[in-house]
Amino acid sequence: MGSLLSCLSDPSPSSSPPPAVKRRSSSASSRRASSAAIDEEALAAAAALVLGQRGSFAGVGGAFERSASVRYAAKRGGQQQQGGLGFPPLPRSSSTRPRSLADPDLHPQQLLAKDLNTKDLETNIIVLVHGGGFGAWCWYKTIALLEDSGFRVNAIDLTGSGIHSYDTNKIGSLMQYAEPLTSYLKSLGDTEKVILVGHDFGGACLSYAMEMFPSKVAKAVFLCAAMLKNGHSALDMFQQQMDTNGTLQRAQEFVYSNGKDKPPTAINIDKSSLKDLLFNQSPSKDVSLASVSMRPIPFAPVLEKLVLTEEKYGSVRRFYVETTEDNAIPLHLQQSMCESNPPEKILRLKGSDHAPFFSKPQALHKTLVEIATMPLVQTS
């Protein structure tokens, strides 16, 4: 999204341990085999979503249908026990290092306190709002992790995004673009609240929704997103960052569905630039998924200046999550937004590119749970 705005960013025990070289080789092989299996599972689950098997995401969204994930997880577990394709099971790593948040084999239950009960929280409903060009499909890892931790999760397809069938070129306002999100919030009961998580240009949709339904938003999380102030547009915010090497400008492809003599109606991102610009730290299979799933970004909502009041927008608790290896919205621009419009707390995902749901899913999950469980600190 930053790019489009810059133009106008066990084994059996033995009597003696094997040599150290063999231990390192065994560990590396095990990690590669585990990573490959996880990639296969993740891509299969995401493909099911893109093909519409999760039809509940159409319109205002719905709960994640996990049958594909469970099916492939069971298959993978069987392969690990059988050794896969009839081969003996791979030896386990002899490394004694503690598992890190980036370890793909780390289960969410190991990340959290065992006594976490999401029903005791102000709300256990988390609504995920994608960024420009993305769709609900991009959250597939995050959805699974949060649901396994006890949260109720909805991922929204904004108008003309993901499997929402509307023509992107016909979107004329931020209100129209964010309609699936605002319709969902409107459908909530009088006492129901949610945690909104917005990525990239989805941050503008969060701000708009916070102004419309402040009583229904317990917390708003801006994930390397446009966190706008009153009277500002996404274009205003991102024009602070001028690309010095031309990468962002070269990645943009403007669409003029109303003719060249009229303003652009949408923007595409050149597929050859996707990895360097958005996914420079993400697994290759997630990059492939994005390359066949991303859709044009509507241009009119980018230009729209928001009207935000302290009484409504300002009453919602805001959090910002920085991504340190972000080439689309560089860290210094994220920090500039936080300085000019300070949130309650700033958190950071080290080593993450512009797609932390791909590059750092476990760390993102831990951060979202931390925010969800963060009590309000009363000030005197």
Q: How far is it, in rounded angstroms, from Cα 81 to Cα 79?
A: 5
Closest CA to 128 of 34, 37, 63, 215: 63
pLDDT of 236:
82
Burial, 143: exposed, middle or buried (Cβ in 10 Å; 0-12, 13-18, 19+)?
buried
Q: From residue 17, how far is each of 30, 94, 191 by CA, in Å?
A: 18, 10, 61
The answer to whether the beta carbons of residues 282 and 359 sit under 8 Å apart is yes
Q: What pLDDT, on the 0 to 100 scale, is given for residue 259?
A: 94
Distance of CA 181 to the CA centre of its chain: 16
Question: What pLDDT is recorded for position 116?
Answer: 77
* Cβ proximity of 328 and 2 under 8 Å: yes
What are the residues whose beta carbons fall under 8 Å from the beta carbon of 305, sequence distance 6 or more? 231, 232, 233, 236
Distance, CA of 39 to CA of 34 (rounded, Å): 9
Q: Can you give the pLDDT at residue 9?
A: 40
pLDDT of residue 52: 45
Give all domains of the chain, ordered by start, each with its CATH number.
122-373 (3.40.50.1820)
Distances (CA, A) of 91 to 10, 79, 103: 5, 13, 17
- Closest among 113, 91, 105 to 362, alpha carbons compared: 105
Q: What pTM, to 2 d.p., does this model score?
A: 0.73
Residues annotated as catalytic (active site), given as ranges: 200, 326, 354
What pLDDT tens digit does each residue of the chain (380 aa) get?
544 444 444 434 444 444 443 344 444 444 445 455 545 555 554 545 444 433 443 333 444 343 333 333 333 344 444 444 444 444 443 334 444 444 444 454 454 545 678 888 999 999 999 999 999 999 999 999 999 999 999 999 999 999 999 999 999 999 999 999 999 999 999 999 999 999 999 999 999 999 999 999 999 999 999 999 999 999 887 676 555 456 667 788 999 999 999 999 999 999 999 999 999 999 999 999 999 999 999 999 999 999 999 999 999 999 999 999 999 999 999 999 999 999 999 999 999 999 999 999 999 999 999 999 999 876 65
Question: Parallel, antiparallel, or unpaired: how do β-strands 297-298 and 266-269 relate?
Answer: antiparallel
What's the confidence (pLDDT) of residue 70? Answer: 35
Judge whether 160 and 298 are in contact, CB under 8 Å: yes
* C-alpha to C-alpha distance for 320 and 304, rounded to whole angstroms: 22
Residue 54, both tokens? 């999760």
> Cα separations (Å) of 363 from 8, 32, 62, 288?
34, 20, 24, 22
pLDDT of residue 299: 95
